Amino acid sequence: MTAGLIVAGGGMAGLVAAARASELGAPTLLYEKGDHLGGSMLLSSGVIWRHARWEDFRRECPTGDSVLQRLIWDRLDDAIEWLESLGTPVVRGETGNPRTVGKRFDPAGLRDALCARLAPGSVRNAQAPLEGHRLAGALILATGGFAASRELVECYIAPAAALRLRASPWSTGDGLRYALRRGGVLSAGMDEFYGRNMPAGPWGEADYVRLAQLYATRARIFDEDGEEFFDAANVTWSETNVAQATALRPRAQAYYLLDGEALGATVAGRSVADMVATAPARARLQPAELPFVAPAGTVCAVHVTSAITHTIGGLRIDEGARVLGADRQPLEGLYAAGVDVGGVATGGYASGLAQALVLGCVAAETAVTDRH
């Protein structure tokens, strides 16, 4: 098969880009270096969403690229309809959060529906031929950001040895490195990431959603030295900012201290006590077991560690998903989608799956149009 278009990465963004390009009639090759398709999307809850109001998006991600934000906000509803037209199974027709609109899909079903749109023989289980290769057409970078690269995380975000990974192990910054060698430039927010505070101790891929400790608004938050480093009143609704702050503390760890009122509270429809109970026993502590003197009224504590799901900074693109160079002009034949793209959610948090879906479609459409 001769490809007019190469897609590097078989996660959500790459699958969307390859499926959409194939639908538009472009000969496409999809390269995935891991042992299966789906990437970090398979490890997610499958909720694809946007902020309910444009003003909310801008307020919650105030330093993000407003052009890209508007692109995703405007196109997401139609993109979700496109997914449904492929036969993608919908688990729930809403997000369960009044701040957002969208739908929850079955991750495995989503992968399978997209794969069904790819031409036979178009998927290669190998690293995309980024170096030393003369592209026959265009290249879409959709390699999942750099959350799994210790070197790049250490360079841009936090001490990587302590920060746990809550994502695909193959998201090692291949697209970022290649684009930079081609003259691409970085977005704002390279030191930001979306992640969760998870229980300290062992956990695996099956636990990424179930074990997330999402009640920082009800806790007092201390580091291992006994410093209360984050005021619960400043925790954002997504809790992204407290995970980022925890990443910068000793060993990227913290303690959530809870009193009786906090344990009896409900956050986003879930009981705090139930979320605490999901943590392994070794992470649930009595006040006397803490390495510092607990404040009066503390009933229990949970030892947590910061875990990175995906990066927020990345490559700068235009509204057609073309990778930009230092002169703000597009690099010929080079496009990016998903979290290889940076700057969308800078200063806050927005749906990584929505970014993958919309930019995957846009990259494919622009690449096909640019070829003609």
* Closest by Cα among 106, 111, 104, 4 to 49: 104
Query: Splitting the chain (372 residues) into consecutive groups of 10 residues, what average pLDDT does each group show?
Result: 81 98 95 95 95 96 96 98 96 92 97 96 84 67 96 90 92 96 96 96 92 96 96 93 96 96 92 95 96 96 97 98 96 96 96 98 96 74
Q: What is the CATH number that goes with domain 5-192+312-371?
A: 3.50.50.60
Please report the pLDDT score of residue 136 as a whole number: 56
Which H or E element spans position 6?
strand 5-8
Distance CA 239, CA 197 (A): 9
CATH says 195-308 is which class? alpha beta
Q: What is the DSSP letter of 164?
A: E
- Where do the structural domains in the chain lie, given as residue ranges? 5-192+312-371, 195-308
C-alpha 143/C-alpha 326 separation (Å) is 22
Query: CA 134 to CA 324: how far, in whole Å?
Result: 20
Q: How distant, in Å, are the alpha carbons of 26, 63, 106, 265 from that of 241?
A: 41, 14, 28, 21
CA gap 119, 152 in Å, rounded: 34
